[in-house]
Amino acid sequence: MANVAVIGAQWGDEGKGKVVDWLASRADVVVRFQGGHNAGHTLVVGNETYKLSLLPSGMVRGKLCVIGNGVVIDPEALLAEIARVQGQGLSVTPENLRIAENATLILPVHPALDQAREASRGDAKIGTTGRGIGPAYEDKVGRRAIRVADLAEPETVAAKLELLLGHYNTLLRGLGVPTFEKQALFDRLMALAPQILPFAEPVWERLDELRRGGKRILFEGAQAVMLDVDHGTYPFVTSSNTVAATAASGAGVGPSAVGFVLGIAKAYTTRVGSGPFPSELTDDIGKLLGARGREFGTVTGRPRRCGWFDAAMVRQAIKVGGIQGLALTKLDVLDGLKELKICTGYHVRGEFMRHLPAAPGGQAAATPVYETLEGWTGSSGGARSWADLPAQAVKYVRRIEELVEAPVTLLSTGPERDDTIMVRDPFDD
């Protein structure tokens, strides 16, 4: 049986929750492989709404869930999230949740620095959530991170804190914000250790056993390809690699184990926070898309910027992200619009380009080149087969396939799980 990796094909918030929940119900194990509690999935099951940031979506479906080594973990945020979903009736125990022992921890110094840096940028803010994700990844590559396994060794934590605070307190003083005291931070971590360590293990070994046993594994990404620290609209990106290749390194499996790569994209485009957005609409249509699509960030609560579907950007995400099939969501939000536009490329300083430039100046200068299509008068909402869709809606989807050079393998036409048209089952070999 094939495994499946799910990644966003735009700037995040593509409506992954519903698709991931549907796939999780058919998987045996769900693995989160990158990011932190700066991303989230909203899952609606019956009358209950679950908002998950660190816990894999399979938790809602009673599946074995794994937080991989590629994730940076705020232990207090994780425990608060566990308590919240337990209050909603879910069971979260070491029997159904495993955490990679080599995952990096987010400490209180990380959000402090994150927020202070963002404040110091003034009008040049990146749009970070301020939750310490970036500084934690900096510690990881700087080889000074405290990891989950270290919590079992107080002497290791004490030695690493000495190194960390020498680094962070200097930076915090320079930014004019309060510093941290070693003993208080040490005591805080030691109090958390017995609550976190029961979940810890070498998850790479468990995943290898599951894979060899023919179990279906769903690799769950956060954010999206255009927020990838290498391939996204840098510097307005997240601090990790979000492409499907990261599923292997971020979970501790070989690349052949990743399986089918499913990209998620809205039938239009949204973005939260700062950064280039060539197809953004600030007019009444943009406001209409935001209102119909209920476009507010799951984690940030901030309104999302809305615009026309950017086929050039999604095509780029498909190429670098390794996406084999596209799940197109929220098609019903476009119902009733007389005409639709698709961005097919950009004019950048007099040159036509089919991809966004790598340099910030070029990204800011990019203006969209549009193709106009006729809208539809009927409703696509709740459609569960191609025959249920208005003819122009089908043409719109087919044109997207041509422009992004990938098939739409799943089409979401409403908030309910069954409001889905499946062309290919991603778990099929």
| Residues known to be catalytic | 13, 41
Joined tokens for residue 155 = 């002497």
Burial letters 155-174, b for 16+ CB under 10 A, else e: eebeebbeebbebbbebbee
Joined tokens for residue 132 = 């310490």
Angle (nearest 5°) at CA 316 between 314 and 321: 90
Question: Where do the DSSP E strands lie in 171-274?
Answer: 200-201, 217-220, 260-266, 269-271
**How many CA atoms lie less than 13 Å away from 355 in the CB half-sphere?**
13
In three-state secondary structure terms, 183 is helix
392: number of Cβ within 10 Å: 18
Pick left, alpha or beta for residue 181 (phi over 0 → left; psi -120 to 50 → alpha; otherwise beta).
beta
Distances (CA, A) of 109 to 27, 135, 170, 374: 37, 9, 12, 53
Query: Could you report how far apart the first and last alpha carbons of the chain are, in Å?
Result: 6
369: number of Cβ within 10 Å: 17
What one-character-per-residue DSSP string does 352-388 give? EESS--SSHHHHHH-EEEEEEEE--SS--TT--SGGG
